A and B are shown apart, each in its own frame.
Chain A
Amino acid sequence: MNNVYSVGQINNYIRRMFQQDILLSRVYVRGEVSNLKYHTSGHIYFSLKDETGTLSCVMFAGNRKGLSFSMKNGDKVICAGNFDVYTRGGNYQMYVKAIRLEGAGLLYERFLKLKAELLEMGMFDEAYKKPVPKYARRVGIVTAPTGAAIRDIQNIGRRRNPYVQLILYPAQVQGEGAAETIVRGIEMLDKAGVDVIIVGRGGGSIEDLWAFNEEIVARAIFNCSTPVISAVGHETDTTIADFVADLRAPTPSAAAELAIFDYSEFADTITRYRRRLGQGTERRIIKARGDVRYYEVRLLALSPKNRLRDRRRQLADKEERMTNILKRRIDENRMRADAISRRMSLMAERSLKQRQKKYSMLVERMRGLNPLDRLKAGFSFVSDGEGRAVTRISEVESGQILNIHVTDGIIKAGVREICGRENLEEVYGSGEERTDN
């Protein structure tokens, strides 16, 4: 008996055989879930069975992300993983990395069928969509109390508007009975009186999101008198709830942004209106003030007082102008009169002088004519006995007595001889004539 091996040696030998097998290192197995145990460590133990037998399976906690739905006994699933030997139990088992419901394809068919039915019923009609209020003060939320969705909504609420009351209905969003809790949440929040309800959950597989494709959920949303915003999964996920909701948000965060108004924006709006109202009134007052001033000026111009003043001013102007004209005339006349009087006095003066001159000349001449004066110079005046001046020889005759007037008396003389001018030379001799007076 040379070939005797220990248990460990054999188990390890078999284990190596499993490990070296290419097929068993990555394999898909179809079966029905049984003996399902969710261990507190996070590991999941279960068996896959079919009509021929069973297969032990384990999904370690580290691989839990490969399970995106709540698996339960009886589920028909496809597991992906590898086989290995558990040496302590001496048995082999499947180490499962991912599990899918085998009916996933069927689910999609069901989804399409229900969608077509509800569409036919008109449940997606725009006419039934209620407007989502812009300024909701109470926002209801139907989602899981744990998970990213509610945290995201809460954060956005804190950031945008901490004064909005958020009310969560803690629902079960996947697995058995999820649809029923969602329906109850919608109904209770509707009754509690909120302005808008967000219904949703974070991302997941079609199985995870399935509750939102259930007809009862669609009907609850449709019958809800409060506007409903659907927010299921990621942007690419579309559920029946999205079609029937009053508003579809691509994600829970987006739904929060739509449902919760930004308080600072709201405050700004109020401030802006206050300012505009103030400016509008002020502008109107300024315009009114301008109007008042305009009419004031116009009225004042038309007032009797002003008219009187204007008239008075016009009158004063005219008066002044007339006075000026009169003054000018007076001045002109005075000047003219002055000129005339000056000229007249000048003329008078001139004529007086002339007269004086003339007079003195006359006096001179008269003086020259004074016979007595002549007598002074040796000339004498001869008159006949009757006082007649003797100027010609013919006026006398020889022997006649003539009166010779001299300066101091009369000489009576007798005419001895009468000679004509032609004989004068005989008397005086030749020489100058001194006959002129």
Chain B
Amino acid sequence: MAVEKKELTIEESFAKLDEMVKKMDSEDISLEESFRLYEEGMKLLLAVGGKIDAVEKKMQALMPDGEEVPFE
């Protein structure tokens, strides 16, 4: 497998997953291919999940001088 040139966005990842799942559901896929797809898919899912840090964010205000301050 070629190393991915750039990180996929979440949308691209989901699109890719769609493709993979479709491929997986096809009749003539080999067992090896299906394992590979599973592995790759899970890796992708993990990466996608990792893109969203489940930390609640406070709204920030970007001031005209470029400083970011919490906004309440």
* A276 CA to B63 CA, complexed, in Å: 46
Query: Does B24 contact A284, Cβ atoms closer than 8 Å?
Result: yes
Q: Mark B8-40, 1 if CB is under 8 A from A, else 0.
A: 011100100100110011000101001101100
A413 at the interface (CB under 8 A from B): no
Query: Does A277 contact B10, Cβ atoms closer than 8 Å?
Result: no
Query: Does A270 contact B59, Cβ atoms closer than 8 Å?
Result: no
Query: Does A266 contact B52, Cβ atoms closer than 8 Å?
Result: yes
Query: Does B38 contact A163, Cβ atoms closer than 8 Å?
Result: no
* A181 CA to B62 CA, complexed, in Å: 12
* A280 CA to B54 CA, complexed, in Å: 29
Query: Does B45 contact A263, Cβ atoms closer than 8 Å?
Result: no
A162 at the interface (CB under 8 A from B): yes
Q: Mark A274-291, 1 if CB is under 8 A from B, else 0.
A: 101110110111001000
Name the B residues within 8 Å of A283 (CB-CB): 25
Name the B residues within 8 Å of A145 (CB-CB): 61, 71
* A280 CA to B17 CA, complexed, in Å: 12
Name the A residues within 8 Å of B21 (CB-CB): 273, 276-277, 280
Find the A residue at minimum CB distance from B42: A277
For chain A, residues 140 to 190, give those with C-beta under 8 angstroms from any C-beta of chain B: 140, 145, 154, 157, 162-170, 181, 184-185, 188-189
Find the A residue at minimum CB distance from B35: A281
Q: Which of A133, A169, A184, A188 contacts B9 (CB 8 A)?
A: A133
* A276 CA to B45 CA, complexed, in Å: 12
* A154 CA to B55 CA, complexed, in Å: 16
A64 at the interface (CB under 8 A from B): no
Query: Does A263 contact B52, Cβ atoms closer than 8 Å?
Result: yes
Q: Which of B9, B37, B60 contacts A165 (CB 8 A)?
A: B60
A191 vs chain B, min Cβ distance (A):
9
Q: Mark B32-72, 1 if CB is under 8 A from A, else 0.
A: 00110110011001001101111111011111101010010
Q: Which of A133, A169, A274, A276 contacts B62 (CB 8 A)?
A: A169
Find the B residue at minimum CB distance from A162: B56
Query: Does B45 contact A274, Cβ atoms closer than 8 Å?
Result: yes
Q: Mark A282-302, 1 if CB is under 8 A from B, else 0.
A: 011100100000000000000
Name the A residues within 8 Å of B59 (CB-CB): 154, 157, 166-168
Name the A residues within 8 Å of B31 (CB-CB): 284-285, 288
Interface size band for B? 35 or more
Query: Does B60 contact A166, Cβ atoms closer than 8 Å?
Result: yes
Find the A residue at minimum CB distance from B10: A135
A196 vs chain B, min Cβ distance (A):
13
A398 vs chain B, min Cβ distance (A):
145
A49 at the interface (CB under 8 A from B): no
Name the B residues within 8 Å of A170 (CB-CB): 61, 63, 71
Q: Mark A186-223, 1 if CB is under 8 A from B, else 0.
A: 00110010000000000000000000000000000000
A277 vs chain B, min Cβ distance (A):
4
Answer whether A281 and B57 are a contact pair too, CB < 8 Å, given A137-B51, A168-B62.
Answer: no
Name the A residues within 8 Å of B10 (CB-CB): 134-135, 266
Find the B residue at minimum CB distance from A191: B66
* A145 CA to B60 CA, complexed, in Å: 11
Name the B residues within 8 Å of A184 (CB-CB): 64
Find the A residue at minimum CB distance from B71: A168
A303 at the interface (CB under 8 A from B): no
A158 vs chain B, min Cβ distance (A):
9
Query: Does A167 contact B24, Cβ atoms closer than 8 Å?
Result: no
Find the B residue at minimum CB distance from A157: B59
Query: Does A277 contact B64, Cβ atoms closer than 8 Å?
Result: no
B64 vs chain A, min Cβ distance (A):
6
Q: Which of B11, B29, B51, B54 contacts A134 (CB 8 A)?
A: B11
Name the B residues within 8 Å of A181 (CB-CB): 64
Beyond contacts A163-B55, A167-B68, A270-B48: 12 other A-B pairs, Cβ-Cβ < 8 A, are A134-B10, A135-B51, A162-B57, A164-B57, A167-B62, A170-B63, A170-B71, A181-B64, A273-B14, A273-B17, A274-B42, A280-B38
Which residues of chain B have a CB within 8 Å of any CB of chain A?
9-11, 14, 17, 20-21, 24-25, 29, 31, 34-35, 37-38, 41-42, 45, 48-49, 51-57, 59-64, 66, 68, 71
Please provide the 8 A-B residue pairs with the shortest distance between their CB atoms, ordered closest to farther: A280-B24, A135-B10, A284-B34, A281-B38, A277-B41, A162-B56, A166-B59, A165-B57
5 A-B pairs with CB atoms under 8 Å apart are A134-B11, A166-B59, A166-B60, A188-B62, A269-B14
